[in-house]
Homo-oligomer: A and B are copies of this chain.
Amino acid sequence: MKPTTLKDIAHELNISVATVSKALKGYSDVSSSTKKAVLKMAKKMNYIPNTVAVNLRTQQTKTLGVIIPAIVHHFFSEVMDGIIKEAKKHGYLVITLQSNENYQLEKKQLILLQQKRVDGILISLSNDTPNFDHINAILQKKIPIVMFDKIAKLVECSKVVIDDKLAAYNAVSYLIEKGYKRIAHFRGSLNPQISIDRFLGYRKALVDHGIPFDPKLVYICDNNDDFNDGYNNAKKMLEEHNDIDAVFTITDVVAVGILKYLKENDIKIPEDIALFGFSNWFMSSVITPSLSSVTQPGFKMGKKSTKILIEEIKCINKGIPYSFQTCVLPTSLVIRNSS
């Protein structure tokens, strides 16, 4: 009924627990005959080591904690895939927590992870995280944290990101070079760095190409419902302006919302209004018209973040110092029929 323990094996073999443990772990001070006997008995009794006990003894859990805003999101599920696969490669398990874009919850989840004594934490910040004391508090306890995607520039830890500003700059520059002149921007919430950076890239592209920046052309999508944010703001935009010829959006789903509204109102894409999304969701390649977008390497981001985190954990275990790194993953433009 109860799982087999070392003690059970030791008792069965009339030897000590210490010897059993050492035999199983390949210590050299165990004769090959007893080692063989232990191995055999362990298999016979279907021994499965109790990780909880091991964790307590070794003071590490071989477990990583992950906090993301939401898992039902193509990008984040790709990141999770990368995290889980890379962690597995190094013998780590991962506990997944969601912040639901909620600061209070994010704080609670961090405490939970500390209780669980995870060896390290991966986090992508929630939209309404106003300060980073909760992150710094953990860092200062020497628990390594790697931030990805939605990061805080001011926090001193390793980070894995894309160059959001540059990517946005390139996308908008492409639109401009294609001849579009009145380009609106559907941005995200005001807080997150990615939202700020993509906006800055948008603005810089305009200015650099001699197009005046008009704040009235910037719409904020911050209801955590990208599709309807896009749809509703598209309506609003068309009521307020009749000269928009392109829209650059914070993410593909917003663009799809716009697309829906435009099609319903017989506005041609890209002839009347062009669209350019961000993140390159699978969906974007199959809708009509297909949506131009910026690739955002979620899987790689997950893998790289995890790799860095595990390296840092290793350093801490060995007591050797390490320095924080910021890894910027490359992006590219995928040009499709919407622009």
Taking beta carbons and an 8 Å cutoff, which residues of A are in contact with B? 1, 3, 48-53, 55-56, 61, 63, 70-74, 77-78, 80-81, 84-85, 88, 93-98, 111-112, 114-117, 141-142, 227, 256, 259-260, 263, 282-283, 286-288, 299
A77 and B84 within 8 A (CB): no
A1 to B80 CA separation, bound complex (whole angstroms): 31
> Which residues of B have CB within 8 Å of A94?
95-96
Q: Are B84 and A78 in contact (CB under 8 A)?
A: no
Chain B residues closer than 8 Å to A256, beta-carbon distance: 286
A66 to chain B, nearest CB (A): 9
Supposing A48-B111, A115-B49 touch, asked if A81 and B72 sit within 8 A by C-beta, the answer is yes
Q: How far is the CB of A51 from chain B (nearest CB, A)?
A: 5
* Contact of A51 with B115 in the complex, beta carbons under 8 Å: yes
Among A51, A56, A95, A282: residue with most chain B CB under 10 A:
A51
Contact of A48 among B50, B56, B114, B283 (CB under 8 A): B114
Q: Are B283 and A115 in contact (CB under 8 A)?
A: no
Leading 4 A-B pairs by shortest Cβ distance:
A288-B288, A283-B283, A77-B77, A51-B115
Collect the chain B residues with CB atoms within 8 Å of residue A283's CB. Answer: 282-283, 286-287
* CB <8 Å contact, A93 and B80: no
**Which of these, B51, B96, B97, B116, contacts A117 with CB under 8 Å?**
B51
Interface pairs (6), CB distance under 8 Å = A1-B142, A3-B114, A71-B71, A72-B299, A84-B97, A85-B98
Q: Contact: B77 with A72, CB < 8 Å?
A: yes
